[in-house]
Amino acid sequence: MGMVGGGRGAFIGGVHRMAAAIDGQIELVCGAFSSSAEKSKLSGKDLYLPEERVYGSYEEMIMKEKELPEDVRMDFISIVTPNHMHYGPAKMALENGFHVVCDKPLSFDMDEAIDLVKIVNDTGLIFALTHNYTGYPMVKQAKMMVSNGDIGKVRRVVVEYPQGWLSTKLEDSDSKQASWRTDPKRSGAAGAMGDIGTHAENLAEYITDLKIEYLCADLHAHIEGRQLDDDGSVLLRFENGARGVLYASQISAGEENALAIRVYGTKAGLEWHQMEPNTLVVKHLDKPMEVMRTGVGDLYEAATAHTRIPAGHPEGYLEAFGNIYRNFAKCVQARLAGEEVDAVYKDFPTVEDGLRGMQFIEAVVASSSSDEKWYKM
């Protein structure tokens, strides 16, 4: 793996490195860790990388790695930069034969997203997007229960992602995370909806296997002087006629990362909370409520294949992230060996999921600023 971004002072770069290393299948061999060549070199030193494999720019990294022998050079890049810096390295890596893992959202705007989808389709290379919440075993259990008809036809989806960390104008401090997320030049057209609303949208479509067709959005910036939304509510209409509600907020005081989803069908409902990820609650019409737990009982293979440790041990954010990296690695390994990979390992978010996320951002921003009630995704 070669990494773009994630140098000194970055949060998500360390998360990606830990997640990629969990299974011992991926080795960090090089990086362009900052837009500052000096900071990139210092970051590479922190990670004990050879000096000659630490680069001053992603362009230099891609071109110099390409010149190395096949058994030495990186096989893929991991992009862990702010949103406006996803497209450039992804495009260049794909055009030079390297697979890609990219943090979400896919790109800065829709034009970039459409172009990346085309490049992935043209090259046939493997592209993973780190919507990491799809990596949890009980999320996969929920998905299989929906797809196998265990809860009947889906009628309603309620998904929420409240945080409270931007309840004050944190971007005016020295907070790097707040400064770029609230800057339209680096974050894109949406704030909270782009940052965490896309996670909620992705989770809803992943579990139900239903696309959102129409939406009606109300976005708002509660903090005076903030340029992007920090709170929003969206009414949803899914392709099968199901209705839904999506709420994403970064000014919900006291909330941490309270992503949660409820899916109601004609026979039963499902409920999952990211802050209690080992539990899936099943609420039946005609029998007592069930509480399913990671690693306990007769679960679907998709859930057990993504369970890493014995039941009762905390299994969460890093392991879910690691499941995406492991599945991606299995697919790359199979590609290099000319083999077919087990279908269970093909389950990770792709460039197409990234396009859906960008369509969602574009639609909620347009809907919120319009007098028209329903917008088509």
Q: Which of 218, 219, 214 is nearest to 236 (CA)?
A: 214
Q: Is 2-129 a domain of CATH 3.40.640.10?
A: no
Q: What is the CA radius of gyration of the chain?
A: 21
pLDDT of residue 94: 98
pTM, rounded to two decimals: 0.95
Question: Tokens 């790359």, residue?
Answer: 332
pLDDT > 90? residue 362: yes
pLDDT > 90? residue 377: no
User: 341: pLDDT confidence band, cut at 50, 70 and 90?
Assistant: very high
- 304-315 average pLDDT score: 92
pLDDT in tens, 194-222: 999 999 999 999 999 999 999 999 999 99
8 A C-beta contact, residue 344 and residue 135: no
Q: Is 135-311+354-376 a domain of CATH 3.30.360.10?
A: yes
* Burial profile 317-335: b = 16 or more Cβ within 10 angstroms, e = fewer: bbbbbbbbbbbbbbbbebb
Q: Which two tokens stand for residue 215?
A: 């939406």
Sign of the torsion formed by the C-alpha atoms of 78, 87, 61 and 11? negative
Asked if the peptide bond before residue 162 counts as cis, ω within 30 degrees of 0, the response is no
- 329-356 average pLDDT score: 96
- 168-194 average pLDDT score: 94
pLDDT of residue 34: 95
Our CA angle for 178, 181, 185, nearest 5°, is: 125
pLDDT of residue 131: 97
- All structural domains of the chain with their residue ranges: 2-129, 135-311+354-376
Our CA angle for 101, 105, 107, nearest 5°, is: 85
pLDDT of residue 372: 86
Bridge partners for 102 per DSSP: 79, 129
Q: What is the DSSP-derived secondary structure letter of residue 316?
A: -
